[in-house]
Chain A
Amino acid sequence: MLNISSFFIIPLVAALLMPFASKLHKRAADALAVLTGLVLVALSVGLVMGWVPQGDYPAGDVNALASAVKLHADELSILFLLVINSIGLACLIYSTAYLDHLGGRAKFYGLFLILMLGLNGVVLVKDLFSLYVYLEVASIASYILVAFTLQFDGIESALKYLLLSVAGTAMILIGIALIYTNVGSLEFKNIHDALRANIAPDKWRLYLLTGTLFVCGFGLKAAIMPFHAWLPDAHPSAPAPVSAILSGVVIKVGGVYSLIRIFLYLYPSTPQIQTVFIILGVVSMAFGAIIAYFQDDIKRMLAYSSISQIGYIMIGLGIGHPWAIAGALFHILNHAQFKSLLFLNSGAIQYRTGTRNMTEMGGLENRMPITSTTSAFGTLSIAGIPPFNGFFSKLLIILGAIKAGYYTVATLAACFSIFTLGYFLIIQRKVFFGKLNAKWKDIKEAPAAMSVSVILLATACLLTGVFFRPIMSQVIEPAAKILNGGN
């Protein structure tokens, strides 16, 4: 009974039951959502431990079901499943309290679970077309979730997100069509073999054309500069748990996972694509950090910081050295943890103070000690201070860059981690330390469910750093092994 199709079926069933549960009692909807999240996390951990079979689903000869979607969880999928479902669970726990002032439980949980379903689908499918379909499922759910508050800026930024994404998906679809006409199949295995079998000279044109389309299309989904314009609007105006999963997970699964799957798995690696990845990565890292420095809106700052951190991941993937690739994959896991943590914290602040403007805050640490401590954890993690998790992933990326001879890239990556610390210290200084703004003298710590969720994520940031070695050997290394240059 336990197989990888549960990653779809469970959230789908839960989403369908949600309206009935919320009719029963609003806490019943909460319980159902959190329970679903817990089951999905348990399943992901089961995959890592080998309790749940990874194998193809449906199994055996499936010619009769030629149109059916086939699933397979390889090591790369497992890493991403772990990220999606654990962050999803934290966001669901958080939402149980956050929705108290927002309302619309059944719709929210339903859409959120469909978003998770779509993301799980993206990483589990075995062919490019299904990947596209599930990517759209996830995207449509996230457009609606961004506009969930039904306020002007939410709807505006959701439309902006939708319109830009459509341009991206059109390019992706054209790229997929071109692959199909040339290879005759869209299954990963067939593409992988066909592109390596006979290296005809005209393959180069196929690489160039589809490569450009995919980099632009998925780059837009990943919000790599210069395709990032939608992100700084969409992520801040969404409700906090949605911002957290968008920044922590959706851009990585929709964008980075697909880029990894295509360029580091399906396509043979070429120096050209590595250079493109490094250039895009450096641009995103540098400008994301510089723009973040000048933001007053706490969530906009976090959004730009996401662009910057995606840049680190792209650099790691582009360098192509095994350490850098392992570092990039590890950074995906780590960034999901600390960025979700920071977004959830900013949500807790907004929940209590009603503002996102940092200049109005100050001295909140005595009023919100849990939020303050956990954001200090997030800050130290994202800046790469040992023993928090961000240190180890950045260390591997930088060492890989040095080892592969990219000295300038290594220096830039190191220098921008100083910059990252700089602007995150601004958050700490403006929001938590300093004199208490008289307006906030009566505010209280965020509700229990929200605190539980941020404490879980903060603990994860520390423990992932301290137990860096077992996580590397159990999750990251197997995933890196199947990639080009990851071995």
Chain B
Amino acid sequence: MDYLSHVMWIIAIPLLGSLLIPVLGWIGGKKYTGWLAVALIATAHILTWGLIHQGLTGEPVSDPTFITFMDSWKGCAIHFGLNIDALAVFMSFTASLIATLIAIYSLSYIEHEEHEPEYYFIVTLFVGAMMGLVFSTSLIFIYLFWEISALACWRLIGYFREPEYIWKADKAFLLTFAGAVLMLLGFGLVFAQYGSFDLVGPDSLAGKPIGAVALALIMAGIFSKSATVPLHTWLPDAGVAPSTITSLLHAAILVKIGLYGFARMFLNGMVIPQSYWVWILGFAMASAFISACAALMETNIKRLLAYSTVSQIGYTFLGLAAVSKWGYIGAILYIMAHGLAKGGLFLCAGIIEHGTHTKDMTKMGGLIKKMPITAIVYVTCALSIAGLPPLAGFFAKDFVITGLFEGHHPLVGTMAILTAILTLLYMLKSFHVIFLGQSRGEAHHEGSPVMVGVVVVLAVLTLAAGLGLQFPWNLAHKANEQREALVPKTIQISTQP
């Protein structure tokens, strides 16, 4: 089985297939554009199943010169390379799974809106960009897919054309674009130093230490994309988008790009000198803690969930920045656990918004009687994020904290535990305000069967990923082994006292 061409299909089906959607809308098949999008994304997801065996057992398969794009053109070799390792398999599987569920939910949620073909076109393009980014080996192609996702996110956040919403979409686009351009400059500096853009292959950047300026520039891009304090402000504002989109941004694709990029570039590629790690840990900790406090104060349900995302992303960065076995495994599992749970929460928020026509939590209350299934899903996902066993979030959070202590960062570890308590607090508060107590609004109704069905699937998956941890754990463990094999032992700072 040729895995490389298999992966090529995973990228090409959503990326190029998305172009069919506006054509279908144009020739009068507006009603079917949603089904086409679901079919394309689901096909990509089903194809990722074929990689799992390889991810679990095989060595990484990579071809850094899959397409020789600018081969040795005056010393500027830009290749489109593909790399299939456990991390990439895990990420593509998780992201496409959640994206498929969200696309199915959209069938009911986006019905009767204007610009329906545009919505499905951009969503499918978005998934294609994510798949491309996950398997790319060249920094230039990582940047290329990174920017395609930024432009998709611009159109999706501004999907409802209120002037204020358009402004917020522009803000998100400008902020992430600015970060990405700085990142590109950082790539340029790396290229000027080592003469290569490839993360694997003969002149790979793996194991090469990078300078402080290049690191700062690249981190600006990563932090702006994954909404880490202080570049996080666009993410709560992006809540003006349709709930499906916020769900997609938070759970499946956008903010995960930053995390994945960090893991790909710095834990499986270039080396950050030891003394700089403390800065990354500091930013991640500040992000996790400050935004947890902000979430505690919010009354807008989508902004609360957005701040919670900023906090959880900070947590994931903590796991990665611990540079230890448990931290890394924890961070990878966290990407999945947070994706499933946050996806479920935002889709629940979508159901609530449809039913109550408000995002203000103080105007809700007592919804558990009207929306019992949504309430159960909400509390399951919220508790997973807060880290209650046996849900998936518990194990991820536990591993990250273990990893922090393993990496000899006891102070950060303690702060992380404190943040976990805050998380439980605001999650329970939001559940209490929305679903319990007296009803403060007019008549509400449960969401449509499709919407409720999707959120139930997400809640079940959250529970299943916790109970059947073995399967994701195996992949994450394999990813960690591959990371350790790649980076020379001397740089494994955490193993030294």
A in complex with B: yes
A interface residue numbers (CB < 8 A to B): 322-323, 363, 365-366, 380, 383, 385-387, 391, 395, 398-399, 402-403, 407, 410-411, 414-415, 417-418, 421-422, 425, 428-429, 433-435, 469, 472, 477
Question: Which one of B167-175, B249-257, B262-270, B313-321 is at the A interface?
Answer: B167-175
Task: Give the residues in chain B near A472, CB-CB below 8 Å.
Answer: 70, 73
User: Contact between A402 and B166 (Cβ–Cβ < 8 Å)?
Assistant: no
Q: A385-B150, A398-B188, A425-B170 are in contact. Are A415 and B74 (CB under 8 A)?
A: no
Q: Which of B109-168 contact A (CB under 8 A)?
A: 114, 140, 143-144, 147-148, 150-151, 158, 161-163, 166-167
B182 at the A interface (CB under 8 A)? yes
Task: Report whether over half of chain B's contact residues are helix, strand or loop; otherwise say mixed.
Answer: helix
Contact of B185 among A391, A411, A469 (CB under 8 A): A411
User: Contact between B144 and A421 (Cβ–Cβ < 8 Å)?
Assistant: no
User: Contact between A399 and B151 (Cβ–Cβ < 8 Å)?
Assistant: no
User: Contact between A435 and B163 (Cβ–Cβ < 8 Å)?
Assistant: yes
B210 at the A interface (CB under 8 A)? no
Task: Give the residues in chain A near B177, CB-CB below 8 Å.
Answer: 383, 385, 418, 421
Contact of A425 among B174, B182, B188 (CB under 8 A): B174
User: Contact between A386 and B158 (Cβ–Cβ < 8 Å)?
Assistant: no
B24 at the A interface (CB under 8 A)? no
Task: Give the residues in chain A near B191, CB-CB below 8 Å.
Answer: 399, 402-403
Contact of A391 among B70, B76, B147, B189 (CB under 8 A): B147
Q: How far is the CB of A397 from the nearest CB of chain B, in Å?
A: 11
User: Contact between B151 and A380 (Cβ–Cβ < 8 Å)?
Assistant: yes
Q: A391-B147, A418-B178, A418-B181 are in contact. Are A410 and B70 (CB under 8 A)?
A: no
Q: Which of B175-229 contact A (CB under 8 A)?
A: 177-178, 181-182, 184-185, 188-189, 191-192
Q: A363-B161, A425-B174 are in contact. Are A386 and B74 (CB under 8 A)?
A: no
User: Contact between A421 and B173 (Cβ–Cβ < 8 Å)?
Assistant: yes
Q: Looking across the interface, which residue of chain A has its beta carbon closest to that of B71? A: A469
Task: Give the residues in chain A near B167, CB-CB below 8 Å.
Answer: 429
Q: How far is the CB of A407 from the nearest CB of chain B, in Å?
A: 8
Separation of A256 and B74 alpha carbons in the complex (Å): 24
User: Contact between A398 and B185 (Cβ–Cβ < 8 Å)?
Assistant: yes
- Interface CB pairs A-B, < 8 A, 6: A380-B151, A387-B148, A391-B147, A399-B76, A403-B192, A407-B189
Separation of A399 and B197 alpha carbons in the complex (Å): 12
User: Contact between A385 and B151 (Cβ–Cβ < 8 Å)?
Assistant: yes
Separation of A363 and B178 alpha carbons in the complex (Å): 27
Task: Report whether over half of chain A's contact residues are helix, strand or loop; otherwise say mixed.
Answer: helix
Task: Give the residues in chain B near A399, CB-CB below 8 Å.
Answer: 76, 188, 191
Separation of A100 and B181 alpha carbons in the complex (Å): 44
Contact of B170 among A322, A323, A429 (CB under 8 A): A429
Q: Looking across the interface, which residue of chain A has its beta carbon closest to that of B67? A: A469
Task: Give the residues in chain A near B148, CB-CB below 8 Å.
Answer: 385-387
B69 at the A interface (CB under 8 A)? yes
B interface residue numbers (CB < 8 A to A): 69-70, 73-74, 76, 114, 140, 143-144, 147-148, 150-151, 158, 161-163, 166-167, 170, 173-174, 177-178, 181-182, 184-185, 188-189, 191-192
Task: Give the residues in chain B near A425, CB-CB below 8 Å.
Answer: 170, 173-174
Contact of A422 among B73, B114, B151, B174 (CB under 8 A): B174
Q: How far is the CB of B261 from the nearest CB of chain A, in Å?
A: 15
Separation of A322 and B72 alpha carbons in the complex (Å): 13
Separation of A391 and B147 alpha carbons in the complex (Å): 10
Q: How far is the CB of B163 from the nearest CB of chain A, in Å?
A: 5
User: Contact between B69 and A469 (Cβ–Cβ < 8 Å)?
Assistant: yes
Q: What 4 new A-B contacts, CB under 8 Å, besides A391-B144, A477-B73? A: A398-B188, A402-B192, A418-B174, A425-B173
Q: How far is the CB of B136 from the nearest CB of chain A, in Å?
A: 12
User: Contact between B70 and A386 (Cβ–Cβ < 8 Å)?
Assistant: no
Contact of A322 among B74, B184, B188 (CB under 8 A): B74
User: Contact between B143 and A386 (Cβ–Cβ < 8 Å)?
Assistant: yes
Q: How far is the CB of A394 from the nearest CB of chain B, in Å?
A: 9
Contact of A387 among B144, B158, B182, B192 (CB under 8 A): B144
Q: How far is the CB of B351 from the nearest CB of chain A, in Å?
A: 27
Q: Looking across the interface, which residue of chain A has its beta carbon closest to that of B213? A: A407
Contact of B184 among A387, A398, A433, A435 (CB under 8 A): A398
Task: Give the residues in chain A near B114, CB-CB below 8 Å.
Answer: 366
User: Contact between B74 and A323 (Cβ–Cβ < 8 Å)?
Assistant: yes
Q: A385-B177, A391-B147, A399-B191 are in contact. Are A434 and B161 (CB under 8 A)?
A: yes
Separation of A386 and B149 alpha carbons in the complex (Å): 10
Task: Give the residues in chain A near B147, CB-CB below 8 Å.
Answer: 385-386, 391
User: Contact between A434 and B166 (Cβ–Cβ < 8 Å)?
Assistant: yes
Separation of A309 and B32 alpha carbons in the complex (Å): 42
User: Contact between A433 and B166 (Cβ–Cβ < 8 Å)?
Assistant: yes
Separation of A398 and B178 alpha carbons in the complex (Å): 15
Task: Give the residues in chain A near B161, CB-CB below 8 Å.
Answer: 363, 365, 433-435
Task: Give the residues in chain B near A402, CB-CB below 8 Å.
Answer: 185, 188-189, 191-192
Q: How far is the CB of A362 from the nearest CB of chain B, in Å?
A: 8
Task: Give the residues in chain B near A477, CB-CB below 8 Å.
Answer: 73
User: Contact between B192 and A415 (Cβ–Cβ < 8 Å)?
Assistant: no
Separation of A477 and B74 alpha carbons in the complex (Å): 11
Separation of A462 and B74 alpha carbons in the complex (Å): 25
Task: Give the residues in chain B near A434, CB-CB below 8 Å.
Answer: 161-163, 166
Q: How far is the CB of B254 from the nearest CB of chain A, in Å?
A: 16
Q: Looking across the interface, which residue of chain B has its beta carbon closest to that of A405? A: B192
Separation of A422 and B178 alpha carbons in the complex (Å): 10
Q: Sorted from nearest, which 5 A-B pairs have the closest CB atoms?
A: A402-B188, A386-B144, A433-B166, A425-B170, A434-B163
Q: How far is the CB of B311 from the nearest CB of chain A, in Å?
A: 28
User: Contact between A410 and B173 (Cβ–Cβ < 8 Å)?
Assistant: no
